[in-house]
Structure 1
Amino acid sequence: MSRNGRQLSSRCVSAGEYGTVCKNSDPQAAGRMCDMDVITATRRQRQQTSIISRGTSGSLLTAMACLLGFAAGCGSSDDANVADNSAASQTTAAQGEPAANEAAEPARPMPGGETGDLESVVADGEKTGDSVDELAKRAEQLLQAGDVVGAVRALTQAIGKNPRSPDVYVKRARILSQAGLHTRAIADVTKAIELNPDDARLRNTRGFYFLSQQKHDRAVQDFNDAIAIDLNYPHPYNNRGLLRIAQGDYDTAVADFDAALRIDPEYRDALNNRGLALVRLERYAEAAESFSAAIEISPEFPGSWNNRALANHKLGENEAAVRDLTQAIKLKPDQSKYYLQRSEALEALGRTAEAEADLNYAVWLQQVAAINLKISASPGDPGLWVRRGQLHLTIDRPASLNRARADFVHALQLDPDCATAFSGLAAIHLREGNVEQAIHNCTQAIERQPHHTAYSLRGDAYLEQGEFDLAIEDFTAARRLDETVARAYLLRSEQHQAAGNIQQASADRERAVELDPSLDPDAPPREKPKPQAAPAFPDEAVDVTESGEPE
């Protein structure tokens, strides 16, 4: 694409800067975003990350619970698909992402009111003629389809059919815990334990839920009971080790992980978490060995690559840290913290440009994640779809234009008069070289709601066509003053010069230099700003793993 097309990504893009343009849109969701804002926000977050990583050990447990999705209001940290941009997510960026091998799947973002619906469904327990097995199978199908309320209703009906089936209580507890209904989830597992008191896995599961709520005394009792029931069951050792980490008792934590590994030498989670405890003890070489063993067992698990990167950084092996984080990114490309941490390692190696690129992409992922959460809560708001489409336009990735196009088209399906959606489509056509269609979309936007973005984009399109008068007219309507506008005046001055209009040529040239002094051949060259130094690599940017659910 030409210089003008590229210029679009370096300017501010706004959905709500000139007033709410789409009907039924949330004005708080549409806001100004400039490249410099992105860089500043990223640096600020890295600084917060470094500060958080030096906080109390109790915050680690909050981070672990949040990232597993078992704490109220938490979601997956796969930033480009599921949103996670809260204060809690900033903590988790520094302190880890649990990836349970026996826990339930990560919680889905739930539309507003659905938690209340679950409460009433559990209380109702309406009758049905289906068998317990049929209801349990239906619950799985509904859960796969995203119908959480329907799944809980089916399991509640199954419990009504056979209130002495511990498996059904455990399945319902899993969903309720993901929805943030921890008290009800624990009540369900407690009922399962009453029905089957000698099942160590049930004790471990309830301990896991207590651990997620930071009820340490109750959790450790359940883990101890699970171990007493079955000395050869490794998972409660692993979870008790995590509790010890949260309490700052790292040596005891290592002992628990070692006990789990004596039972199952290929228990990846225990190896990974043992490495975490060793990092806290500043035994970095041993930690790296533990992470390497976990990688050998499960090379597809990105957390161990990320954790070994931290250990390598602490050992001064930043090239190795970059390699490990690159592999983690290949496995989980939408995890923003991996880019943040690779940025730190690259900065330590003096590879500033690459570090800055990782910084920008990390914050972009977090912004998309935040919009995804809002879309999940308000899917009928066209302004949110426009905002996400605009974010896709700010990044140069293979699928970004198609994703942006889909978002703008969806916004227009929700509101056919959404002016900013037409502007978004115009921006895409301009990048693709379809100038006439870009002009048409901008005109559609202006007819519905005149706003600066549409005039600015149409000015770019006219500049591409060499229609300098029309371009400058639109730039003026947009109140835009930048190097592209200066270029339009300079090109028009050359056009006037060739036509013999010396006075007009001189006026346009003066205006061009006024907007962009670098166009003055006598002006001294401008110095590029020096990049800011990055903060220290986070001390605890690790991924921990828990084992919560029964097999």
Structure 2
Amino acid sequence: MKRFICPFYAIVYLGITSCFLVACGGHSRDVYTLFNAGHLKMEKGDYKGAINEYDQLLELKNDHATAYFNRGFAHQNLNQFKEAVRDYSKAIRYRKKYPEAYYQRGLAYFRLNIPGKAIRDFDKVIHTNPKHADAYFHRARVKKKLLRFNDAFHDFDEALRLKGNFKQAYYERGALHLQRKHYQKALWDFNKAIELDGRYALPYAGKGKLYYAQKSFKKAVKVLQKAIKLDEKHLETYYTLGQCYVLMDDYPNALVYINRAINMAPNQAASYNVRGFIKNQREKYKAALTDFDKAIALLPKYPEALYNRGISQLSLGDFAKALEDFEATLELDDRYTGALVSKGKVHEAQGQMNDACREWRKAAFYGDTTGKYLVSENCESKVKYKAPKEIKINADVKQLIATYMERGAKNMDQQQYEQAAANFSKAIGLNKYNPDAFFKRGNAYEGLRDFENALKDFEEAIQLNPRDGIYFYHRGLAKKNLDNLDEACIDWRKASYLGYKPANILIYNQCSKQ
């Protein structure tokens, strides 16, 4: 959170110029010397050194209001907010009418998350000086945090009435408008802040969040990258940019920005959760588990991370751990329909169809379309799906097939798509009833931009196993690349019905007008 603390010299000037010259009453030369030494160290940014000087001064003269104020300000610049509050309070004790001490103490209370006391201090400043724009501004920020939105808007408006070029107030008011989904007003405020200072990064980041909220991801990416050029240290910008790339299905770029966010702030659970989600989408389930474990260690009651970890466990075939994570998710949010659907899938895999149907019916009751589909297909339909019988293959041939599949997977990792297709073809030659081999070869053809052959392989995979959503998802991608968006949307909806969540992103972005 950006702090708006007035420069030291400006604060001192308000009421202590004469004190600075004569050491506040003509006390010993030591007090005068120590006061000046502290002041010089403050100007140089040596806040620890300044505190040392003021400590010595206050041992000689313990009612020196300005010294307490200055020491408090030094503590504040070292993020020692409790110490700052204590010193500002002492300054106020020895000088009752000290508006700048109330103002700075209000800032310190805000950083300590003591909003009630912060507001009372800003109230006193405004009562003393009704034209103190900064006090209105910071009181608005506190009220925003307390969800007193109308009062916050009033204070932001007053701050801007008093100081028309207050770029931070335009940004913060815009951020509040964005939070309240007043998108046009938010955009106007962000643009006004940029008009006042084209090098001010935060309103660009605000516009990026606005476009993200409006699902205009390409526009969001453009302004967020501008924000990063202006301020490389703004964590939230990297996180939002990574999220945009996730929703654009561009996982390599998403990973770049989420990794940067993690490097900047390694204790943010949300960043690890997003990175784990990206790894899940790229079928790196074991690597994803590490990120979800980290996210949950940082924030134990994190339903999204628990759910996503459950998906990793389910994909790895560890049904017991998957079930444990889905149940933990539902303890935190009993209407988390993704967890209900996935919990049902665990029961289905374990042959417990009554339990599976119970979970899917709950999801359907809460409006989940995947839950409704699974209920209609598995719990009410008279015709049950029967998987094709596996052909008998001797152990040596099975081992050879596994070898070709492993070679193909390594080729895919190295982007050697022709070699991958050749290895998957050898596996298919040994067992033409293996849907995964057709699917993997289809992936290789995707890499070669040979979408016609990819489409044929995905269709073969679906013929062999029409219950796997990822097959429909990739068949949809192939159809889209062959300029058949209508049929692609049908496949993506089928993938979504089967529980393959990434399809939802494409349905929203590509098929909303279908």
Q: State the TM-score, normalized to the length of structure 1.
A: 0.44
Asked which structure has the greater RCO (Cα within 8 Å, sep 6+), the reply is: 1
More helix, by proportion: 2
- Structure number with greater Rg is 2
